[in-house]
Structures are given as C-alpha cells and as structure tokens.
Structure 1
Amino acid sequence: MRKWVYLFTEGNADMRELLGGKGANLAEMTNLGLPVPQGFTITTEACTQYYEDGREINDEIFGQIMEYIDKLQEITGKKFGDRENPLLVSVRSGARASMPGMMDTILNLGLNETVVHTLAEKSNNPRWAWDCYRRFIQMYSDVVMEVGKKYFEQLIDKMKSKKGVTQDVDLDAEDLKELANQFKEEYKSKIGEEFPTDPKDQLMGAIKAVFRSWDNPRANVYRRDNDIPYSWGTAVNVQSMAFGNMGDDCGTGVAFTRNPATGEKGLFGEFLTNAQGEDVVAGVRTPMKISEMEEKFPEAFSQFSDVCRTLEEHYRDMQDMEFTVEHGKLYMLQTR
C-alpha cells in the first residue's frame, strides 16, 4: 500500500516533491527540535490521484487521513469535537514551488457549537472562543464553499458601527457570538444547507478545497507562464493550532533573518499582539516592528532569535518565517 500521509516527524527538507515546500520545511524544523505545532502532510501524489479518480478522495487515502488524525490526537492529547480537550487544526496548501492563486489558509478547524462553549469555559476567555469560531466560519465559507468574503466583512462593519467602535478587537464576546450566528445564517442562505458541525467533515471539505485550488484559473495561468507541470500537484498541511488571539500576551508575526532589500543581517518583520495570522497580512491593524516585540515578549523574542540563527545556519540562506506567540511561548509555523 502506498503511503499518502506523513507526520512532520517522518519527513525532511529533501522531500519537497512529495511533501511540498511548506510540508518539507515543517518536517525539517521538527527534526531540528524547533517548537513546531505538530501535524501531518497529505502528499502531492494524493492530489494527483484525486484528479485521476475524477476529483474524489479514494477510500485508501481517506483511510490514511483518518488514521493520521488518530495519531495527531495521540500526540497532542486532544480530540476532534471533544468536550474536555478539543483538537483544532489549521489547513494550508503547499506546492513544491510557492504559487499565487492557491488556497488560502483555514484556521480553527474543528469548531462547532459544543466545542466553542468548551473552549470559552476552559480558557475562561469567551471572547477568544467566539473570535476563533466566527473566523473559522468566515474562512471556511470563503475558501471551501466560495461564498465571497465581502458578505461577512459587511456584517462585521455593521456590527462595529452598531457598537460605535472602529477595530475588530473592540468587539466583545457577545458581539462575536452574534456575528458567528449571522455568519451561519449567511452560509445557509448562500449554500442552502447548514454549516458543517462534524470536525471530520469540515477537514475533508478543506482538504478537497486545497486539491481543487491546484486547478483554479489563477493557478493554471501562473503555471503556464512559469513552466510548472500540472502533474506536480499540491500537498496539504494539517497542523494543530497555536493561538495568537488569546489576549495581550499572545500575537503573530512574519519576519526575515536579513533585510530583504540589502541582505544586511538582523531581524526584519512585523508583529501584531492578540491576532491571528491573516490579520498581519490583511492589514486589519497596524503591526509593530519586530524590534518592539523584544520589549513586549522578551522570552519569546530571545527564543525566536535563537531559532532564526539555527535556521539560517542550517539552510545557509536568508529565511522568511511565520510564527505565533501563545501566552508568551513561541511556535514556528513556517520557514522558506
């Protein structure tokens, strides 16, 4: 039987063709002993097979994905849909070469009404739980079901003006709970069915969306212009979540180990407190320079500096990284 899925502990940097750039680097960082939230990669071959099978995930691949969910649950001590310690994951695409037009990230997958209440209670932080849920509904609707972002952004703007605030972070738990429900209504009116509640259904929907994005018009034009073969396929990375949006001792950032313009050594990048990944890129709020992170998160910053040194010495090249700080602890999400 062919191996279609690899834990991060089973891969390395030389497996780009099979695991894609992102998956190979996550495996390599794991091998280096860096703080990487654990997960697994579904191979580029599984993507090719999906197309050969008429855009279906066959039973063998499905079976291996389910097996690896079990393995991830063992590693993390968390379970999908659990009332005690629920597992939440991110789903990202990762081809061999970085490509525009590929599927955007989905964060906080595994959330439903039961899990959101568990998280609110366990963390003593209902605002965070509902913020994760409304983000997930928004991303899943947009990325998997192709309900346009704008519908959700209009609902957020409406809520902000109703509350007389300008920033998303100024909305409280009740506002976000109401938004989550409005988002689900929006989903139902556009799709004609309820928003999926079973984490495994959510995951399979997201995986298929990554595979589908390999064949979308933008990706096809880019490949044609850059001589990237259609047969390469894309991998899918499923990674346990680290949360940058749990409060002011959390955050998320992107950084280079050198100045990308001059090659001068030193950390260059941006960091946002109490935020999730897409906030930095989307320009929802103005981020701080990476140097300011040192004052706010001295421990995570010194750990981050060590990680940067390790990565640059290991790859012998400038690195472009994404990371999250959860309650002062650093997690590496990507390097390239």
Structure 2
Amino acid sequence: VVSGARTPVKISVLEKQQPKIYKQFLDIAAKLEKHYRDMQDIEFTVERSKLYVLQCRSGKRSAAAAVQIAADMVKEHLISREEALMRIDPASLQSLLHAQIDDRAKGAPIAHGLNAAPGAAAGIVVFDPDVAVEMKRQGKKVILVRPMTTPDDVHGMVAAEGILTSQGGATSHAAVVARGMGKPAVVGCEALLIDLRTRQFTVKNETVHEGDPITIDGSTGNVYRGELDMQAAKLSSQFGQVLKWADDYKALGVYANADTPEDATKARDFGAEGIGLCRTEHMFMQVERLPVVQEMIMAETPDSRRKCLEQLLPMQREDFQGIFRAMKGLPVTIRLLDPPLHEFLPSLEDLLVEVTELRATKGDAATLSQKERLLRRVRVLHESNPMLGLRVCRLGIVYPEIYQMQVRAIMEAAVEVKKEKLDVRPLIMIPGVGTVTEMKALKDLVTTEAERIIKASGVKVPYQVGTMIELPRACIVAHRIAEYAEFFSFGTNDLTQTVFGYSRDDAEGSFIPVYLDRKILREDPFQVIDQDGVGEMMRMALDRGRSARPDIKVGICGEHGGDPSSVQYCHDIKLDYVSCSPFRVPIARLAAAQSVLKDKEKEKAGTGSKPDQD
C-alpha cells in the first residue's frame, strides 16, 4: 500500500469487516489527536487480525479544512482560540472567497501569466470593452482580453467574468481594479500575441478567436482553452467564527478600498470597519459619464469647465449617497481626482490613425473636425512622464473647479444622508501632496466649499481633511504637512515607485522576475512592503507627523494592505489601520490578529517586536 502497488479500500469497509479493530483504530486515533492537538495523518495496517500503527504526522489540509479543524478543536477544548488563529495561513483564505477550477477538469494550460487576482472564470473571448458590455446584455459570459487595461476599459471589466492581459504586473491597472471588483485576473501573460485588428490572439502555435471559450485561473496564472468546470466558493459558519475571534485580538483597524455602493456593501459583509480609499476617478469612467468628462477636459476656460462639472455633480453626489448609506456611519475616505486628465481621452496614437484615415478617405467633415479638436487637446495634455506630471493635487491647484465640484458632491451627499437620520463620516483625502504649501492651499479650498454647504443646508456634518503620503518629500516634511492634514494614508503603490525609482507596470514585466531569481530583491516590493526603504520612509513620516499632531490617524491604502507580512509591519510601526480590496479584508483581519499574538510570543521569549533590519 505504502509503495503504491496496491489500492487500499475505504476505511468504512473496516467497520463492516472487522468492527473490533475499527473501534480500536478510532480509540488510537482519538488518543493521537488529543496528544498532538492536531489533525493526524495515520499510516496503519491490519495483519492477521492485529492492528499495527506504522507512523503518524500532522496531516496536510486545504484552507477550508484548516478553518474547520481549528474551529472544531477549540470547541473540543483541545486548543485555545489563540492557537487556532495561528494555525491558519491568512493568504490561504483567498481560495475560500472565489470560485476555483474543479481539479478533475484541469488539463494542460496554453499560457501562464501573473496570478494578479484570485479565483477562476470562464467565458468567450472578447477584445473590446464595448463588446463585453453588449455580450453581457445578451446573457453571455465573457473574458476581456487586452494588451493592458486603462480607465477607458472599466465598463468592460465590470461586464466581464475575468480579465486577461499580455502586459502589466501585479499592481497594474488590470490587477488593482480586478481585485477591487473581486474578479479573477491573469496579467503580464507575455506569450500572448494579441491582434486587436483581427480580434484574435496566438500562443504556442494556437490561435484563439473572439467568441472562442477560455478559462483563466487568477490563483495560479494559468490560461486554459475551453470552458472548464468550476467549484463555487462556500463560506462555512466556522469561517465567520474564526474571523470573529480574530477581531477580538487584533489592534489594527481593517478598512476596504471601495468605489461603489456595491463594493461598500461587499466590504461590510467581509467585516470592513470603514472605507480607506474611494477612488473618484472610477466614477468618471462609466459609459454615460465619459462624454461629459471629456467635454470638461476639452473646455478652454474655467467657466466652460464649470458648466460640464455641473452635469457631473448630481452623478457624483448620487454615488456618494449610496456609499454613505451602505457604510451606515463608518468612516469613508474619499480621494479627490488623482490620475492625469489624458487618461480620460483616447490615446494619441489612436487619434492620429483616425484623423489620418479620415483625411485620406475624405471622410465626414464634422467627424474629422471633432477628432482634430480632440487631437489638439490630447497633444496639449500629452506628457513625457505622466506619472510625475499634471496629476494628483497638482490638478486641484491648476483646475480648482474640479476639486470644488467633488467636495460639493461629497458634502451635499452627506447632508442628504444625514437628513435620513443616518450618521455619516466623510474623510476628504488630497492625493500626492509633496509640500506644505500644496496642503495648505487645498485644505483651504476644501474647507471653504465644505463650510459653505454646511451653512447653506443648516445640517452639521463632521468631516476631516487629510492627505495621501506617496512621495519621499512628503515623508520628510510630514511634520509640516501634519499642521494642516488631520489624517495620513500611505499610498504604498506610488510610494514604492518613487522610493525605488521603478515604474511598477514596466518593472514587474521586465526586470523584477530576474531580480527575484538572482536574489537581488528578496520580495517583489509592489506586493510586500520593502521594510528597509519604503518602510523606513513610512516610519519617518509617522514619527514626524505625530510629533506635530499626536492624535493624527495614519493608515495605508495601497495593495500592500492585504498582504499578511505587510500587515505585520504596519502593526509593528503602530499604524491605526490598513485598507485593502474587499476580498482581502478577511486576510487582513486574520493577519492583524496574528501580529498581536506574535507580540505575545515575543514577550514570553523576552524579545521586542521591532522587525529585523538589514
């Protein structure tokens, strides 16, 4: 049997054939489990009606089994709640929250990329976000396949079951948005040769056309041809029980990144204590709003921009009302517009092709005129390095009317919800501040508009104004910024980029795999906080910020908020909270509890909890 030359019968057969030996086996198994205080993998044999136990060891288990076993052993008084919490790997909980491919259905993958967002999805291939929306309307399941995604593609991502890209890394647009939506994603699948013109991709001498079915596994990064069978996600009562125990021990708050009322509701279902990041730009990308946003960007004067913003105001206000209602008085941190404006417009290359074709074919004059006007504006907004250009708080300085509209929408929404006898706690976050003068100027803008709304409505709404710390300079002058900022939130995605000087989308698809393989980097810094560099910047900002404002609340809202070792670091430096995508909230809750329990173990051993530094 041990050699694999024989197939053993099921143990239930032993009960029928030799009931005495079966009872003896159960007694021994119970004693071993009680002695080792863990589920045991027992090897035994029966020879001439005599039971021989050959060996035993702690048994391997799935994530679902680990939760079940831990909860059962607490119930049986074999282990404490603390031990139960420490026996579960937080990262393994991801597999419980998403559908998975049935093991019996798996074949050979046709391609492999980065496992960017967990879970599995199957559907027909589409290459265009508009087609994805139309197919969804027809009741068809689709997988959106793109070289990379941009904010222009969000409506297609919403319609798709999953996302597959040939470029990008684990913190690319596709990865971050998919995780927030709870949709599986495989990114950076470089073997895919995508031809958007003919609507097909080629991989390993196989060609997959639009309309062909594929399956993606965001937990492993595998891509399969055809539609494979799935196992639906199932959350047991023990899962909820274990997380309640975690909440009893953890010191860190766990918030969620959520951009819609649906996201907010999901976040609360998973135990989020607030929203640590609501990205307002995602609200602009809805199909019916994008033309208004583009017209606002095309406007040449503040007055004409304000007219467009007046159309966007009720849309944003409605979004915020839904989120405030869903969160029922929990804090909601809303980031004012962050990305460069060109992201809301067609790409320069696409427009050049369209204008050239219209001129060459003498196409419709009105269409040509409109495209030429758009092209002129895109050229004006085009930047050599948009990540460090006209974006974040600089947008609010150059185009203050945009931030004024957003603050008005936030506060008017808060007033309306407050009139419904519901508590609201808006926290207005200014992105990308690097100087105290930026912070002061924009706090003045925010408070002036907010107080105007409060005075006009006669409804008092408590609110705070803070900033996202994502630049090294902001960390260095955090004590000055804290004179005006009432809270800090570390944007660890961009802080990692600016500390390392890496472009995350380029780095993860090119040299970071080599760096990891050659041990130049121990971990991918875009997935695990780099404690020696980025972490020290965070520690500096925290200490300096609290020296100026002792009660300042500080958290993180980058993707690191759902990584267990990063949660441990945030606990060690005494942040107030972490924020992550809704589907990572259970992971962060358990990791936060384990951080406290590890401190207890270190105290017993007589050591401190400060992490080792190189």
Do they fold alike, i.e. is TM over 0.5? no
Report which of the two structures shows the higher radius of gyration computed on alpha carbons: 2
State the TM-score, normalized to the length of structure 1: 0.35
